[in-house]
Amino acid sequence: MSDANKKELDCNTSINQCECESHPIHPNVSIGKIITKVPVVLAELTLQTNVDALIKFPEPVLEIKDIKKHVKLIQCRLLLPTNKLFVKGFIRKNIQYASPSKEIDKSSQNTVASDLHSLTVDVPFHCVTEIKHFLTRPVMPEMNKRNEFDFFVSKPLPSGFPEKDEFQSNDLSQFHQESTQHYNELPFCELISSKIIEWDEAIDRSPLPNCAPLGEGYFTKLEEKMVLDLSLKVLQNQQVRISSATNDECQVECNDHCE
């Protein structure tokens, strides 16, 4: 087949999307008292931290148009065997703003020409809080152990000592140790929700040079203060005993037909 015929065949090929049927399958369920390993909620809490930051713009800013914020949590660590929770992250801010543009048109007493730009910054935050109430107690870590042991040795003494005496001690040419390591389950977090209350203020605002409408100005530095509320779940994988009494094929969907 020539290359031209192959290209023509490829161009004429089409795929028809069609629906396919599916049927539920009843799962095999173990009966009795079963021990399983699942994430267990240790605590659910809301914490509040304060953030103060200074943002510098790469160009003059006429006004802020919009600010979109997202919380990025990079660390949430329960420091066992204490109840201190260390939280660290960033607030991603995308700031859309208007910047005066002389290239578009010169300012007059009634108009200011500007174009739209955006600046994305990560504002860091961190705090340490105490979990005062556990829904489920965490499984505390088992400590590693190392124990040294020696063997008794008895040797004859060199000349200069009585013949009946012996050198008795441990063997310094050998080292014996028993060590135990425990691989504990590390608690982890899930971010449920976040709430940010912020206050932004330009700290170096100046009037526009030359001719400009009344009250118009520009700035390059923005001071912001934020109160951040985070809702978190602290979890840990634990072994839990559950009870399974039946493997009845009557599902919730067909309760009406299984009476």
CB-based burial, 158-183: b 16+ in 10 Å, e otherwise: eeeeeeeeeeeeeeeeeeeeeeeeee
Distance, CA of 86 to CA of 49 (rounded, Å): 12
Nearest to 89 by CA among 74, 69, 78, 70: 74
Residue 248 lies in a domain: no
Three-state secondary-structure class, residue 8: helix
Tokens of 216: 């118009």
Closest CA to 61 of 5, 117, 142: 117
Q: Are 13 and 53 in contact (CB under 8 A)?
A: no
Residue 87: its H or E element: strand 84-100
Give me the pLDDT at residue 157, please: 76
216: how many CB neighbours lie within 10 A of its CB? 14
Q: Which of 93-97, 114-118, 122-126, 212-216 has the lowest mean pLDDT?
A: 212-216
- Scan for tokens 């006004």, then name that residue: 63
Q: What is the structure's pLDDT at 166?
A: 74
- As a whole number, mean pLDDT of residues 38-64 equals 94
More confident residue, 8 or 58: 58
Q: Is residue 213 part of a domain?
A: yes
Based on the structure, what is the number of domains in the chain?
A: 1
Q: Specify whether the backbone of 172 is left (phi greater than 0), alpha (psi in -120 to 50) or beta.
A: alpha
Does residue 147 lie within any of the structural domains?
Answer: no
Q: Is residue 2 part of a domain?
A: no
Position 39 in a domain? yes
Q: How far apart are CA 241 and CA 9, in angstroms?
A: 61
Listed range (2-6, 31-35, 115-119) with the worst mean pLDDT:
2-6
245 in a structural domain: no
* 66: containing domain: 30-137+186-240
Please tell me the distance from the alpha carbon of residue 212 to that of residue 110, in angstroms, as a whole number: 7
Contact 62, 114 (CB under 8 A): yes
Is the pLDDT at 30 greater than 80, yes or no?
yes
Q: Is the pLDDT of residue 174 over 90?
A: no
Residue 15 covered by a domain: no
pLDDT of residue 259: 46
* Predicted confidence band of residue 25 (pLDDT cuts 50, 70, 90): confident
Instruction: For residue 100, tell me if it sits in a domain.
Output: yes
Among 39-48, 117-126, 145-154, 226-235, name the one with the lowest average pLDDT: 145-154
Mean pLDDT of 14-36: 83
Percent of the chain's residues with pLDDT above 90: 53
